[in-house]
Amino acid sequence: MRRNTLLLLLVLLVVTAGRLWLSGQVELSEDEAYYWVWSLHPALGYLDHPPGIAALIWLGTLVFGDTEVGVRLLSVLLGTVTVGLGLSLVDRHRSTLALALLSMPLLSLGGLLATPDVPLVACWALGLWAAATERWWLLGLAAGLAMLSKYTGLLLLPLVLAARPADLKTRGPWLAAALALLLYLPNALWNLAHDGLSWRFQLDHVAEGGSGLELLLAQVGLAGPLLFVGLVLGWTVGLKGDRVARLCWTTSLPLLLLAVLSGGEANWAAPALFSATVGLARSAATRPRFARVMAAGAGVNLLLSGALLLQLLHPIADLPIDPRDRLSGGRTLGQSVAAWGEASVWTARYQEAALIHFYGGVEARAWPGLGRPDQYDLWESPLPERGLFVRVWRANARLALDDLGYERGAPNIVSAAVSTTDPPATARWPAGRSTSSGHPGECHRPPPAGGVSAPRPRPGPGPAAPGLAFGGAGRPGAVDRAHPRRCVDRPE
């Protein structure tokens, strides 16, 4: 047993080192860059989420600076902690459970990114371990930190107690609840000071609804197709199992059903998949068939996750859904916009603003009132007299700024550049996706009648003729001309 434990620890260390290396090989996603911008403005709350992810990124960048590794450092480490806590909840089939958790797309790929779901699942795992070992103070700590990670964390303590209602007659659960509320109090006070802004934003998000069937199918993808079959088998017997198995059942299936009924986003049920996988391993101790299904599902996931990671690092196929679509292009956009030398850069969406800030070093802002509400709306900034405006590429479609007295020039295409002649490695931007392309455009207010026109900004170094593609920092680069990602308007 001791030898197996040491071997599992060694595997976790190797996997963690590999993930840290991988975290520096791929660009930030749009949301990761957005959360990094949050970390530059420390606060007790933000429009979209509580402050947990911003605090983690801030700490990581203290160690590795404003780099991809710095942004993702603590998320990667928390992913390892999550797996370790899961293994501590079972006595048998630990190796199989380790393989299942490490290969599950939710943790193997999603756990690489700096998103609020990573600390939420880690706190969820800590809460399960604390409840299983009756460490009530630690359960309160986990529940409080879970709520500071994402509002879904509010469900952790109630779902844990649903498996042990008799404990409500003791002091433990009440002490845990008091500690959790105390830890969450700063964010609650921030919300109250801002008219419940973040709470209302998320409630509106839930009210918008969506397809419950699509969310359920997404869980199959996040867990892996065969492993999800095993999770369903585990749910059929979870309530008949021991105390820990029941705990895993109440913290997984009810949460999944709530997410399906709300029709939310795929990641809303992330903690449920962790609990269900641990519960399956717990049930497999007395049901060999469950152990075989879990092992087979983990093997399939290992192949799928390995193929996706290979595609991410060195493309091997032309996939309709490619992991590179959301993890590349930001550097080209940021450097290309920075090459114009304009200090005033505004965007139609927060995604482009964040990527330009991280990769271009230009403090871009999302234009207020365009698109959905975002954190930039809370940071006051005077509107510019002139500058660059970035929007999703829509040929020569009318700009929102056209109605605000601004003028603009003709577009220059900016697409992703690559450093290899390998055709599959050329960045692709599938048509029809709102997140697949953007359009930076120079704009300025016309001079007043009888006044003198201010000089218009000139593009940075490199080619800037209308319609001519160029890569990062104004240098020519390999371009997929069929799906240009972004373009820059050239002053006329």
Place of tokens 């269900």: 276
**How confident is the model over 45-90, as pLDDT tens digits?**
999 999 999 999 999 999 999 999 999 999 999 999 999 999 999 9
- Structure letter (DSSP) for residue 227: H
| The pairing of beta strand 365-366 with beta strand 345-347 | parallel
Whole-angstrom distance, CA of residue 124 vs CA of residue 289 = 27
Name the nearest CA neighbour of 232 among 257, 210, 263. 257
Cα angle: 302, vertex 307, 312; to 5 degrees: 125
- 251: pLDDT confidence band, cut at 50, 70 and 90? very high
| The pairing of beta strand 486-490 with beta strand 410-414 | antiparallel
CB of 122 closer than 8 Å to CB of 75: no
pLDDT of residue 325: 76
Global pTM reads 0.83
pLDDT at 267 over 80: yes
Contacts of 65 (CB under 8 A, 6+ apart): none
Domain boundaries of the chain, sorted by first residue? 2-313, 328-490
**How confident is the model over 3-44, as pLDDT tens digits?**
788 889 999 999 999 999 999 999 999 999 999 999 999 999
Q: What is the mean pLDDT of residues 211-240?
A: 91
**How confident is the model over 291-342, as pLDDT tens digits?**
999 999 999 999 988 888 888 888 777 777 777 778 888 888 888 888 888 8
- Rounded to the nearest integer, the mean pLDDT of the chain is 81
Query: What are the structure tokens assigned to 264, written together?
Result: 């939310």
Instruction: Kindly report the number of other CB atoms within 10 A of residue 246's CB atom.
Output: 18
pLDDT at 414 over 60: no
pLDDT of residue 467: 25
**How confident is the model over 349-405, as pLDDT tens digits?**
899 999 999 999 999 999 887 778 999 999 887 777 777 877 766 545 566 666 666
pLDDT of residue 335: 86
pLDDT of residue 410: 53
- 199: pLDDT confidence band, cut at 50, 70 and 90? very high
**How confident is the model over 465-477, as pLDDT tens digits?**
222 222 223 322 2
Query: What are the structure tokens assigned to 470, written together?
Result: 């160029």
Q: How far apart are the first and last CA of the chain?
A: 74
